[in-house]
């Protein structure tokens, strides 16, 4: 791992190809040791968090080869991030160390982000990752996978990060399949412009993930069809509709394309953090395997259910054969599916009672 802060972009020589490359900031996360306000927390437990690294870790745990591209400080927090993400089996050789800028940190409560009780405090302004640019990253390493996964969070970090995301989304020979998760985070967008920029970037991707709620907040769009109409260019647009399910618009085979809705299984939720990243990882995993669109959505739901049933951002994904078996259920059995804490590990131990009617 290179220690240089302002080294030129890697030319890709000697870089092994992988299934998926993700690019973006990961931070050290601190979670209160007990429920309640951050102001009342007597101590915190350390974890890691970052949309793109979450996707990389989940894909690696599911048996794919994944590479994470980023920058971290030369501090101990940077050491921890690289070691922790690498421990999932993610290739971290393209992570650069910046001696002049710190690794990002954040503190959050464990509750649902959608509630007023949820608190998150970021210490990421001027972070090492915010200094990523076309000049220091280029496209050789990001294009070293079959899929490149990006998010709108990276574009919000700094003008140079925004230019980098634009550069990687631009059509050019050798560009892999590019996945883009809108991940609208209004507090990160200083000076506004978020709605326009995110729509522009999403239009340049091959696969787009967007929540119906964030499309409504950012673009004033109501309903999955309106979102697809606003994003005609991407090959596949996946609209996540929370506990109801997800709708995918796909024109991989040409023509007008197809519309597929898959309801989400019922889940006994522990925490909502990380579910969107897990959904993207499940969908991309199934895409890499050439599975039909319905099964890609079902694998997304199953990965999200694994994340929803643990308190942190990352969960043990279901074994591939187990996920395939669940994804192949008929409509009635899929509708009866209910998943609770520990469902992935119980299945590994031979407990086959995850399909049940409450």
The length of the chain, given as a count of residues: 358
Cα 141 to its chain centre, rounded Å, is 19
Start-end of H helices in 98-223: 134-137, 152-157, 159-169, 194-203, 212-219
Active-site choice (277, 295, 321, 330): 277
Strand order, beta sheet including 177-181: 66-69, 18-23, 145-151, 177-181, 207-211, 236-240, 245-250, 258-263
Distance between CA atoms of residues 358 and 356, nearest Å: 6
Strand spans (E) along the chain: 18-23, 27-32, 44-49, 66-69, 71-73, 96-98, 105-108, 120-123, 145-151, 177-181, 207-211, 236-240, 245-250, 258-263, 266-267, 338-339
Element counts in the chain: helices (H) and strands (E): 13, 16
- Residues 6+ positions from 235 with CB-CB distance below 8 Å: 206, 207, 250, 251, 252
Distance between CA atoms of residues 304 and 269, nearest Å: 10
Label the pairing between strands 145-151 and 258-263: unpaired
3-state secondary structure of 60: helix
Strand order, beta sheet including 105-108: 44-49, 27-32, 105-108, 120-123
Is 277 an annotated catalytic residue?
yes
Distance between CA atoms of residues 59 and 20, nearest Å: 8
Give me the residues paired with residue 177 across strands.
147
- Residues 6+ positions from 236 with CB-CB distance below 8 Å: 206, 207, 208, 248, 249, 250, 251, 252
Q: Which residues are catalytic?
A: 277
């Amino acid at each position: 791992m290179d220690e240089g802060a302002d080294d030129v972009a890697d030319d890709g020589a000697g870089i092994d190809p992988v299934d998926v490359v993700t690019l973006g900031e990961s931070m050290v996360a601190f979670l209160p040791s007990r429920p309640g306000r951050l102001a009342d927390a007597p101590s915190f437990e350390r974890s890691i968090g970052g949309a793109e690294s979450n996707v990389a870790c989940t894909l690696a745990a599911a048996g794919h080869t994944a590479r994470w591209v980023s920058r971290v400080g030369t501090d101990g927090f940077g050491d921890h991030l690289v070691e922790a993400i690498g421990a999932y089996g993610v290739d971290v050789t393209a992570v650069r160390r910046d001696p002049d800028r710190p690794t990002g940190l954040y503190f959050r409560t464990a509750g649902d982000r959608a509630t007023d009780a949820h608190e998150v405090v970021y210490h990421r302004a001027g972070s090492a990752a915010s200094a990523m640019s076309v000049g220091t990253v280029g496209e050789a390493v990001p294009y070293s996978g079959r899929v490149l996964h990006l998010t709108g969070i990276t574009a919000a970090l700094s003008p140079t990060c925004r230019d980098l995301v634009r550069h990687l989304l631009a059509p050019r020979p050798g560009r892999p399949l590019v996945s883009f998760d809108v991940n609208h985070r209004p507090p990160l967008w200083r000076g506004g412009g978020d709605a326009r920029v995110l729509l522009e970037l999403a239009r340049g991707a091959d696969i787009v993930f967007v929540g119906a709620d964030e499309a409504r907040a950012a673009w004033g769009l109501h309903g999955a069809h309106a979102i697809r109409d606003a994003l005609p260019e991407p090959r596949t647009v996946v609209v996540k509709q929370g506990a109801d399910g997800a709708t995918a618009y796909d024109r991989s085979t040409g023509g007008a394309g197809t519309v597929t809705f898959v309801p989400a299984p019922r889940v006994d939720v522990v925490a909502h953090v990380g579910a969107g990243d897990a959904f993207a990882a499940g969908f991309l995993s199934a895409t890499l395997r050439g599975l039909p669109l319905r099964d890609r959505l079902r694998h997304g739901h199953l990965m999200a259910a694994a994340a929803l049933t643990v308190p942190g951002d990352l969960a043990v994904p279901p074994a591939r054969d187990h996920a395939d078996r669940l994804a192949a259920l008929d409509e009635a059995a899929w509708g009866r599916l209910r998943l609770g804490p520990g469902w992935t590990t119980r299945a590994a131990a031979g407990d086959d009672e995850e399909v049940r009617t409450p």
